[in-house]
Structure 1
Amino acid sequence: MSLDLWLTFVAASTALLLIPGPTILLVLSYALTQGRKVAVATAAGVALGDLIAMTASLLGLGAIVLASATAFTVLKWVGAIYLIWLGIKMLRSANQAALGDLATAGSMPARGVFTHAAAVTALNPKSIGFFIAFVPQFIQPTQPLLPQFSILISTFVALAALNAFAYALLADRLRTRISRPEVMRWLTRVGGATLIGMGVLTATLRRAI
């Protein structure tokens, strides 16, 4: 892979990752309500989710899912239900999102946060479809594919992890300056509502023809 092509991929990926979406709001919500340690776990989960989705896409799972209506429907509904469930859970815990009760209110082990972030990222069928549409633009068919896949996967996952971690640090920094519990409750509600909306959109996603 040429340096110019790789730099173009880095620029395009960075621009896409900087756009706040449900995953980033999840990172922000956990960072604000549970602190830096859990935020790091969230960022790591996001990286793992992107790694799974991108690797599966490049290994052909994405093509199989898009070619099979049954497989696509199963994955679509699993992802949609999980996103909606997680959004409802965040909404229900919003009233407990207060600075004075961070140690006990709505707390979740870092391992659980890591798993949630990874699942939210990896189970979204749009991730697989996105990688199938996005990555081939940077593949050189005349060159060995495996080295190119390795470079693209490692680059995107590293950028995704850095992006999520940067958002998490920003949220953790803001957390120390926010004194009104209603602000954190509002942010938690926004994150939960966004996840529910993403779940609904995922459920309505149609298989590409």
Structure 2
Amino acid sequence: MTSSLLFAVIASGFIYGITPGPGVLAVFGIGAARGRRAGAGFLCGHLLGDVVWCSTALVAIVGAREIGSSAFDVLGVLSALYLFWLGIRAIRTRNRSDESPQGAARQPFWHGILFGLTNPKAYPVAVATFTALLSSRAELLTWGMLPWLIVLSFFGGLLAYGILIAVVGARQVRAVYQRHEVLITKLCGVMFIGFALNALAHALPGLLGSKTA
């Protein structure tokens, strides 16, 4: 495994974990209501869902690569389109999220597990994010390195959650996030569109080349 691939997998797990979404919004709500300890409990539970979905996404990505470069390129295009759609939705956001973490009032850890495992957006976002960031190194992906890919993505997610736990209990940081939630969401939308364009840049030449060959 090259250093660039290692960094890309860690970065994928980190970005997947820290990008504002239902889980991140929920932990900030929990932190505001019950403090850092409850927020940390929620994230520890939510991490189980992340491991499941990221592992499943990596299996799909490596499987597509092993089937053939065309299959991976098709997955790259689909992932890019999904990320582009998510980015447009995020940029068009006008109102703050009104989601309330009421289910976490008593058992934040167990609520985090349930939240992470049942989030319908978790798998497609994981596939899209990892495909976009790993597309330039697709030829390096094999079944033999799958366990390491999972471990590295977990490490990236752990770094992201460590940062979230550190800031969720800080009143000033929490206030800034809540005040500028819409702007932060829009900026993440721009980032998603950038990932989408990167994935298309690596997938389309392969598909067009295979058709003209």
* TM class, shorter-length: 0.5 to 0.7
From 7, 12, 21, give the equivalent of 1:15. Answer: 7
Paired position in structure 1 for 2:144: 151
Q: Secondary structure at the match of 2:170?
A: coil
Q: Deviations over 1:45-67 (max 9, x none)?
A: 6623641453234333652353x
Rounded to whole Å, the distance in 2 between the matches of 1:123 and 1:54 is 10
- Aligned-residue Cα RMSD (Å) equals 4.2
Q: How many residues align?
A: 180
Paired position in structure 1 for 2:35: none
From 120, 124, 132, give the equivalent of 2:125. Answer: 120
Rounded to whole Å, the distance in 2 between the matches of 1:65 and 1:151 is 17
> Is residue 22–residue 194 contact of structure 1 (8 Å, CA) maintained in 2?
no
Instruction: Specify the code of the residue in structure 1 equivalent to 2:162.
Output: L
Say if 2:57 is the partner of 1:64: no
Rounded to whole Å, the distance in 2 between the matches of 1:79 and 1:165 is 23
Deviation, 1:77, is 2.4
> Is residue 9–residue 153 contact of structure 2 (8 Å, CA) maintained in 1?
yes
From 92, 97, 100, give the equivalent of 2:95. Answer: 92
Rounded to whole Å, the distance in 2 between the matches of 1:185 and 1:49 is 32
Deviation, 1:120, is 1.3
> Is residue 64–residue 71 contact of structure 2 (8 Å, CA) maintained in 1?
no
> Is residue 18–residue 160 contact of structure 2 (8 Å, CA) maintained in 1?
no
Deviation, 1:14, is 4.1
Deviation, 1:200, is 3.1
> Structure 1 length normalisation: TM-score?
0.59
Say if 2:166 is the partner of 1:169: no
Deviation, 1:119, is 1.8
From 78, 97, 103, give the equivalent of 2:82. Answer: 78
Unaligned runs of 5+ in 1: 1-5, 140-148
Rounded to whole Å, the distance in 1 between the matches of 2:101 and 2:76 is 39
Instruction: Specify the code of the residue in structure 1 equivalent to 2:185.
Output: G
> Is residue 57–residue 132 contact of structure 1 (8 Å, CA) maintained in 2?
no
Deviation, 1:115, is 3.6
> Structure 2 length normalisation: TM-score?
0.59
Rounded to whole Å, the distance in 1 between the matches of 2:63 and 2:16 is 19
Rounded to whole Å, the distance in 2 between the matches of 1:72 and 1:19 is 18
Paired position in structure 2 for 1:29: 24
Q: Which has the higher helix share?
A: 2
Deviation, 1:195, is 3.4
> Is residue 64–residue 72 contact of structure 2 (8 Å, CA) maintained in 1?
no
